[in-house]
Amino acid sequence: MTIEERKHLITVREDAWKARGKGAANDSTQFTVAGRMVKRGLASPTAITPVTSPIGSKTRGTTPVSKPLEDIEARPDMQLESDLKLDRLETFLRRLNNKEVMKPDDDETFAKFYRSVDSTVPRSPVELDEDFDVIFDPYAPKLTSSVAEHKRAVRPKRRVQASKNPLKMLAAREDLLQEYTEQRLNVAFMESKRMKVEKMSSNSSFSEVTLAGLASKENFSNVNLRSVNLTEQNSNNSAVPHKKLMLLQVKGRRHVQTRLVEPRASSLNSGDCFLLISPHHCFLWVGEFANVIEKAKASELATLIQTKRELGCRATYIQTIEEGINTHTHAAKDFWKLLGGQTSYQSAGDPKEDEQYETAIIETNCTYRLMDDKLVLVFDFGSEVYVWHGKEVTLAQRKIAFQLAKHLWNGTFDYENCDINPLDPGECNPLIPRKGQGRPDWAIFGRLTEHNETILFKEKFLDWTELKRPNEKNASELTQQKEDPRVEVKPYDVTRMVSMPQTTAGTVLDGVNVGRGYGLVEGADRRQFEIASVSVDVWHILEFDYSRLPKQSIGQFHEGDAYVVKWKFTVRTAVGSQQRGEHPARVAGKEKCVYFFWQGRQSTISEKGTSALMTVELDEERGAQGGMVVHSGRREEEEENTQSGWRLYCVRGEVPVEGNLLEVACHCSSLRSRTSMVVLNVNKALIYLWHGCKAQAHTKEVGRTAANKIKEQCPLEAGLHSSSKVTIHECDEGSEPLGFWDALGRRDRKAYDCMLQDPGNFNFTPRLFILSSSSGDFAATEFMYPARDPSVVNSMPFLQEDLYSAPQPALFLVDNHHEVYLWQGWWPAENKITGSARIRWAADRKSAMGTVLRYCRGKSVKKPPPKSYLIHAGLEPLTFTNMFPSWEHREDIAEITEMDTEVSNQITLVEDVLAKLCQTVYPLADLLARPLPEGVDPLKLEIYLTDEDFEFALDMTRDEYNALPAWKQVNLKKAKGLF
């Protein structure tokens, strides 16, 4: 076959490949943003061209452009080198077949291949007695550079006669060093420092930076926090690096930019992704023509902000809104409401606009630093201005940098010479000029310190990296392990769950287990120690200030505030009769001081951060706080909290000295038959101590102790005064006086699931397990009550936040002795579960239900197993919510749950749902319908068909189908609608 024929054949096959729709040209019209916009008529067909980098286009213009080569015309009289090689090969094969003796051709001899050497150059014999340099050819070219001349000039003079052996001559030289001794300074200091760090980190899970902070001896009593008024808190003077409402634009292709834009509907466009962040919401808005890089970046940012509670966002889940798909849902209404109403916004721009935007927006960045100081920097990103400083910067330098940054913030900005205005990149607001005075109110002026930067600030840098723990697992392995949908998940071993834990509450502080904070405790060496309190001090933390509580207010907390508690205690060794519980002998002990921070569930992020900064030593264990009362609202809103005149508290705790009160809604539905309640009339100074019919004796005693403390202390936080004469009336459930129902409204026993007619015994402690396969293997982890005491019954050890604050969707096993519940959380995103997430969730649900049924059989070996029920978040029945001290109905969660058509308010048995999930055969019509039945693997729909339906749907038998390669099986299922 000639070259012309081969070229023609290649051209024909290439045209056929493109015609079948598998070529690169067809891909560009189907899968790129430009191709989709051309289909919709929003761009011209010329837009479907390879996108060139704007940076590359600048440098490419300096090099000459070569003229494209013309097509080579094949002519028979043209002698090509390839034809000559083919002729020689044919001649060689012909001679080999004829067995002729081959002779070297003139064109293939060595004389032609190698360069001939002129042998007429005179050669002189080399005398070995001469110097070693004589060996070299005197006619060889020598180096004449300055480097070579310098080497010859500094060549050392020989002190001895030259040796005939060059190795001996080299060994005889004395100016060459044979050994090198390293000189190290501060060896002892560095080694002692290393040993201290190693000793501190050997038995600790904290990082080196955390350990260094805990070991510091900074005196926090000398730290004065700045006091500001209410107007300054709402302005930019606070330098908080985030706003209550922020709209972030995610735009780009190569290096995606995340910028703050004005939070209004007109700032949106169809070609980018946007994040709307508020204290209680996290919305992800995806434009119709956003590219895949923008979508991936926006999803990653939303996950980080929601999980790590960045930028002041405390949303429990992310709400995704895709343009043209789910823009009319309940979440979309909240989205448009935060933006001030749904209005028109811009359409998608040119497909090449993303890279042009990257180059233009980067040119608007400005960076300033103090003279001769690299640890204080000011970054101006247009809509964001940050003052960043290191940890070792002095207070004077910080003040100077802050004042200069404030002048920059309030001064004139000018972007007339820039291609884009960072304050209005879409040019949608004519009120924002390119040159003006002062930044808009929605812009950010923030102060950042080293290692405390926000995610929005980190996104401005191309190579920002986070420090990782050395014992951290490989991220790629974890990702592969989580995303593999076909990993088999097995139920958990219930033998590890059935046995009741006998561990008591304990907190290790400074290497000492203080137990419950009082009495005798046992050390690691089996010795007895006595813990005794010396003093307790409490500070109330505001967002920008703090105040010390008076002595009479110690123990009075609000769920909307944060506090720092300073506890001084002594540790004494118990000796002699003291160990036998007799009168203790006074033995000198070591005094210790510990700081705790108490954060209410409704407190702000700033208050939590301020309380953490004031704390010297922190501990995550929620130790017992004797006599604590948690009021609703905030301390500044005490007058509003006491306007109704009636307040209702739930009694918690099992030991009288540790009893605490939790304020709940003053309504009949807040009563609980398994505990005691305190009803306080502020105006009449009257207390009704109400005992439920199933309350334990020690619970009633805890309630009496708590009521007497209120009577003695008359706390101002509860609306009482020191002159109040408090009267206590004790009553039982079913025999309440008439005045009791004046506080709770009409008498409605069904509102709180009254247990007066229940003959069952309730002397048990509920248990709570979280079921998850996030670590790879399906496991059950028990939630332990922080102030647990195994010797007594804990009626209500858990809170609603234990369920709702877990990463969703979550699965919890709740053991109420008489029945077992499987609580199923909600999916944060409103779109359908697809791909690996759906398969993993179905596998987790099956394993959780199998674990619940095995748990019921394992805990009642001799008796019939208790019933197990499946309940959904937002639709919990009254029998379930009465297991918690208080319960707030979440309407937003209920709407998400009700989107599933099969979910209803009726209680469903776990075994019935599991049998439905484990169904192995489905009709063909059910598998072709959408959504698919629960528990069905969307990647293997053919395994659920009968043999008749299989042949009818795929036009072949199972054996013929299994003989096909995997890619043909997938294409066949797609064509038949079974994928």
DSSP letter string, 373-434: -SSEEEEE-SSEEEEEE-TT--HHHHHHHHHHHHHHHHSEEE-TTSSS-TTSTT---TTS-S
Domain range for residue 789? Answer: 767-917
Q: Judge if 347 and 415 occupy the same domain.
A: yes
Q: Judge if 404 and 449 occupy the same domain.
A: yes
Q: Judge if 904 and 935 occupy the same domain.
A: no
User: Domain end: 416, 431, 459, which one?
Assistant: 459
Burial class (CB in 10 A: 0-12, 13-18, 19+), 114: exposed
Q: Is residue 84 part of a domain?
A: no
User: Domain end: 878, 896, 917, which one?
Assistant: 917
Q: Judge if 799 and 711 occupy the same domain.
A: no
What is the spatial distance between Cα 360 and Cα 84, in angstroms, rounded to a whole number? 58
Q: Judge if 787 and 716 occupy the same domain.
A: no
In the prediction, which pLDDT does 248 show?
94
In the prediction, which pLDDT does 85 show?
63
Task: Return the number of other C-beta atoms located less than 10 Å from residue 688's C-beta.
Answer: 25
Q: Judge if 797 and 925 occupy the same domain.
A: no
Q: Where are the beta strands (DSSP E) in 450-518?
A: 508-509, 512-513
- The C-alpha R_g of the chain, in whole angstroms, comes to 40
Task: Return the number of other C-beta atoms located less than 10 Å from residue 436's C-beta.
Answer: 14
In the prediction, which pLDDT does 481 show?
42
Q: Judge if 333 and 302 occupy the same domain.
A: yes
* Dihedral of the alpha carbons of 404, 407, 409, 415, in degrees to the nearest 10: -100
Q: Is the pTM of this model over 0.85?
A: no
In the prediction, which pLDDT does 164 show?
67
Amino acid identity, residue 72? Answer: I
Which segments of the chain have a pLDDT < 70? 17-31, 44-86, 89-90, 92-164, 177-187, 200-209, 211-238, 372-374, 466-490, 502, 505-506, 509-511, 523-526, 543-545, 574-589, 603-627, 638-644, 829-836, 900-906
Q: Is residue 204 part of a domain?
A: no
806 to 256, 537, 723, 774, 811: CA distances (angstroms): 31, 32, 45, 13, 9
Q: Is residue 759 part of a domain?
A: no
**What CATH number should be reported for the domain holding residue 443?**
3.40.20.10
Taking Cα atoms as reference points, which of 681, 697, 617, 627 lies closest to residue 659? 627
Q: Is residue 46 part of a domain?
A: no
In the prediction, which pLDDT does 54 show?
43
Q: Judge if 785 and 682 occupy the same domain.
A: no
Work out whether strand 273-277 and strand 246-251 pair parallel, antiparallel, or are unpaired. antiparallel
Q: Is residue 7 part of a domain?
A: no
In the prediction, which pLDDT does 486 show?
41
Domain count, the chain: 4
Q: Judge if 698 and 563 occupy the same domain.
A: yes
Q: Judge if 556 and 430 occupy the same domain.
A: no
Task: Return the number of other C-beta atoms located less than 10 Å from residue 324's C-beta.
Answer: 9
Q: Is residue 216 part of a domain?
A: no
**What CATH number should be reported for the domain holding residue 927?**
1.10.950.10
In the prediction, which pLDDT does 186 show?
66
Amino acid identity, residue 127? Answer: E
Q: Judge if 634 and 712 occupy the same domain.
A: yes
Q: Is residue 125 part of a domain?
A: no
Q: Judge if 673 and 806 occupy the same domain.
A: no
Q: Is residue 9 part of a domain?
A: no
Amino acid identity, residue 598? Answer: W
